[in-house]
Amino acid sequence: MSTPPDNPFTPRPGRIRSTGSGGRAKTYLARMTKALSSAGGVRRTALPARPRIGPRGGQRRVIVKARIVRMSGSSVAALAAHIGYIRRDAALEEKDRGKLFDAMSEDSNASDLIKSITDDRHHFRFIVSPEDGVEMADLKPSVRDLVSQMESDLGTRLEWVGAVHHDTGRPHAHLVIRGRRDDGSDLVMPRAYISHGIRERAEDLVTLELGPETRLEQERKLQSEVAAERVTRIDHFIARQVSPEHEFRLKDSPSHYRTLHAARLRTLVRLGLAEKLGAGRWQMRENFREVLRGLSERHDIIKTMNRALAGGSDRRLDADVVFDKSDPDGRGVTGAVLQTGLTGEAHDRAYAIIDGIDGRAVFVELGVAGEAEEVKRGAIITVSPPNLEPKPSDVTIDRIARANGGTYSAGLHQADDPRSSPEFVAAHVRRLEALRRAGHVERTTDAEWKIPPDYLDRARAYERVQARFRAAQVLVRSELGLREQETALGVTWLDEAPAPSGVPRGYGKDVAEAKMKRRAFLAGIGLKAEAGIGLSATQKTELLKRDLAQAGRILSKEIGKPYSPAPERGHVDGTYREPVTRVSGKFAVIERQRDFTIVPWRQVLEQRRGMAVSGVVRGGRISGALGRGIGD
């Protein structure tokens, strides 16, 4: 059998075909691949730290976002959350719902990859977004070709999974790549390769598939960027040309682009990001690109919220649509969780959309995925901003400094409070180091600190800035929805929730209607509650007893012993068996020789599961301890 001829359009390791102009760029990539191969694999010095040289020619643009994630105790949960995000049905085409693909399969087993990555030092996450992705029949073959080329460049087989998303205006692929080479050593990608090489490989492959970009296409794309409320190529050009005083002159633009750039500058003036100084001169806002990125993120958030609120005509979006954790006057938001997901450029931060009882829908960033508290759809939660007040250590530092002429040191602290341990004092010094890096305090050469008179105000300002990177405070009020609470046998959130103020609307209206149905149900079982007053303490105790009695009947079959109610006041001991979640809250099952009882749960009990515990029940709480038991 004769050997088939080579396909000239199939990329080979170390070989990129020229597609018109841009040949110098292809030569650079070929030299890069040769350097990698001759070095026997990846070396940190294998790639020159520079982008593609020469003109772009007709090269198609591809955006590649990369993130290296170091593994830690919480990283496994974060990785599982990320995998769940990229395989979510809402972003995939119907044939790919719930599936991930890899080099050989259309339905890869992601759990195997997660288990493998658990023992790795790190892994890689990529987003590959071709500018002309909508014109490509399917991104998967291009992604597979890209990973194959990366394997050739890096000199190792790669373990990976991916998914192609279609939930935005531009199809894009998410990749998770294991951080280990096929010989078992850590996979280290050169910085230049991550910054430029992968993108250039992807651009070459897309250009091979769609052909070189024509001048007409380039002009059309630039025209579409003029009014865009996001960072564009024109903005990057302007940022490179501004003077140290942040002034831009139109004469610095190529003559054939000046009309286009002037139009873009008019948009930036409208957005408050530039000010015209005179003919052909503009004063640019220093961080105008960061503001544009924020605008783009806000637009994406509003799109996400509109999809979540589809059908809820009485819900409203207003200026406070995004929960601002750094707002010193920010108030908490209580409502039902409409939707959860991941956000951020690397899709590594959890978010929730809350349908508030005041009729507002709010987008809340909860924190790093896997570390943030998990909330379920339909759960009723309260989200509050983090504490923005100075820390107790700040108050101590300020007091010692005021007594010593504005100076703080470890020695002065020890003299002020001789009982302070070295570790306690060191914690105060670390706090000052953090504030020093932010420019709020100064350290002298003799390890003393100069504390300004307005130190506490500076500490408060520092906390406000840091709040943007911290998780909001989340309190789960109930994991049951309103309908389940209406007829629940136990003390529910509805029994204690305040009536909505003013004319209820949106979710507040739903809560008001549910409270009416709840009162009717309670009246039917002999617990009549007055509107606006709620249940009395005696009625709540009776509901709690009924809830626990029902739990006792169910558990009695499993444990094989009868249930005995715990005393309202008195001593309880036995073996802590397990926690049980009821309508009225979380409780602990305490097994004894002849029976078992149920008492309020405490986190400390989990350290004693299966062991003897003892404590005192008083006022619906359990505290105190005999020996090593409840309350230790």
Give the pLDDT score at 396.
Answer: 95
Give the pLDDT score at 39.
Answer: 35
Q: Six-digit token pair at 434?
A: 């953090």
Q: Which of 152, 205, 184 is nearest to 42 (CA)?
A: 152
Tell me how many helices (H) and strands (E) the chain has: 18, 20
Res 54 pLDDT > 60: no
483 in Cβ contact with 477 (< 8 Å) = no
Give the pLDDT score at 183.
Answer: 92
176 in Cβ contact with 184 (< 8 Å) = no
In the chain, the N- to C-terminal Cα span, in Å, equals 81
Average pLDDT, integer, range 529-545:
82
Give the pLDDT score at 317.
Answer: 67
Strand order in the sheet with 274-278: 247-249, 281-284, 274-278
C-alpha distances in Å from residue 37, one per residue of 40, 55, 360 = 5, 26, 58
Res 8 pLDDT > 50: no
CATH topology of domain 23-210: BirA Bifunctional Protein; domain 2 (3.30.930)
Q: What percent of the chain has pLDDT over 90?
A: 41
Give the pLDDT score at 270.
Answer: 93
213 in Cβ contact with 58 (< 8 Å) = yes
Read off the pLDDT of residues 397-412 as tens digits, 9 standing for 90 and up.
Answer: 999 999 999 999 999 9
Give the pLDDT score at 462.
Answer: 92
**Which DSSP letter does residue 213 get?**
P
Q: Which of 581, 568, 584 is nearest to 535 (CA)?
A: 584
**Spatial separation of the C-alpha atoms in residues 185 and 583, rounded to whole Å:** 51
Comparing 363-377, 472-486, 533-547, which segment has the lowest mean pLDDT? 363-377
Average pLDDT, integer, range 597-607:
87
Give the pLDDT score at 332.
Answer: 82
Average pLDDT over all residues of the chain = 82
Res 628 pLDDT > 70: no
Contacts of 73 (CB under 8 A, 6+ apart): none
Res 15 pLDDT > 60: no
Q: Which of 440, 461, 473 is nearest to 388 (CA)?
A: 461
Backbone angles phi, psi at 254, to 5 degrees: -55, 145
User: What value does the CA radius of gyration of the chain take, rounded to a whole number of Å?
Assistant: 31
> What three-state secondary structure class fits 100?
coil
Give the pLDDT score at 269.
Answer: 94
Query: Which amino acid is residue 592, in one-letter code?
Result: R
**Spatial separation of the C-alpha atoms in residues 345 and 174, rounded to whole Å:** 12
157 in Cβ contact with 151 (< 8 Å) = yes
Which residue stretches of 473-595 are H helix?
482-486, 493-496, 507-524, 537-559
The CATH number assigned to the domain with range 392-469 reads 1.10.10
Average pLDDT, integer, range 608-619:
84
Give the pLDDT score at 222.
Answer: 85
Q: How many residues does the chain have?
A: 632
233 in Cβ contact with 225 (< 8 Å) = yes
135 in Cβ contact with 128 (< 8 Å) = no
- What burial class does residue 620 get, using C-beta atoms within 10 Å of its C-beta: 0-12 exposed, 13-18 middle, 19+ buried? middle
**Spatial separation of the C-alpha atoms in residues 632 and 628, rounded to whole Å:** 6
In 480-509, which positions are buried (b, 16+ CB within 10 angstroms) versus exposed (e)? Answer: bbbeebbebbbbbbbbebeebeeebbbbbe
Read off the pLDDT of residues 339-357 as tens digits, 9 standing for 90 and up.
Answer: 887 776 666 678 888 988 8
Res 483 pLDDT > 60: yes
Give the pLDDT score at 310.
Answer: 73
Query: Please, which pLDDT band fits residue 372 given cuts at 50, 70 and 90?
Result: low
Res 614 pLDDT > 80: yes
Read off the pLDDT of residues 101-134 as tens digits, 9 standing for 90 and up.
Answer: 999 999 888 888 888 898 899 999 999 999 888 8
C-alpha distances in Å from residue 441, one per residue of 398, 431, 462 = 12, 11, 11
Q: Six-digit token pair at 100?
A: 């991930």
Comparing 291-295, 556-560, 596-600, 626-630, which segment has the lowest mean pLDDT? 626-630
Strand order in the sheet with 62-70: 62-70, 122-130, 172-178, 160-165
Give the pLDDT score at 631.
Answer: 42
The pTM assigned to this predicted structure is 0.65
Interhelix angle 233-241/215-225, rounded to 10 degrees, is: 80
Query: Please, which pLDDT band fits residue 144 given cuts at 50, 70 and 90?
Result: very high
554 in Cβ contact with 563 (< 8 Å) = no
Give the pLDDT score at 348.
Answer: 66
Give the pLDDT score at 118.
Answer: 87
Q: Six-digit token pair at 262?
A: 């002037």
Res 19 pLDDT > 80: no
**Spatial separation of the C-alpha atoms in residues 612 and 361, rounded to whole Å:** 47
Res 220 pLDDT > 90: no
The domain spans of the chain are 23-210, 222-290, 304-384, 392-469, 539-623
Query: Please, which pLDDT band fits residue 319 given cuts at 50, 70 and 90?
Result: low
Q: Identify which has the larger pLDDT, 222 or 147.
A: 147
Helical (H) or strand (E) element with 399:
helix 392-402
Contacts of 594 (CB under 8 A, 6+ apart): 561, 562
Give the pLDDT score at 47.
Answer: 45
Average pLDDT, integer, range 559-568:
90
Average pLDDT, integer, range 8-16:
34
Read off the pLDDT of residues 284-316 as tens digits, 9 standing for 90 and up.
Answer: 998 899 999 888 888 878 887 887 777 655 666
Give the pLDDT score at 373.
Answer: 63
Interhelix angle 139-154/23-38, rounded to 10 degrees, is: 50
**Spatial separation of the C-alpha atoms in residues 110 and 101, rounded to whole Å:** 9
Residue/partner pairs of 211-216 with CB below 8 Å, 24 or more apart: 211/19, 211/58, 212/19, 212/20, 212/21, 212/57, 212/58, 212/59, 212/60, 213/58, 213/59, 213/60, 213/61, 213/132, 214/58
**Spatial separation of the C-alpha atoms in residues 69 and 80, rounded to whole Å:** 13
C-alpha distances in Å from residue 315, one per residue of 339, 355, 358, 359, 561 = 15, 8, 10, 6, 50
Res 506 pLDDT > 90: no
Longest dimension (CA), the chain: 95
Read off the pLDDT of residues 242-261 as tens digits, 9 standing for 90 and up.
Answer: 999 999 999 999 988 899 99
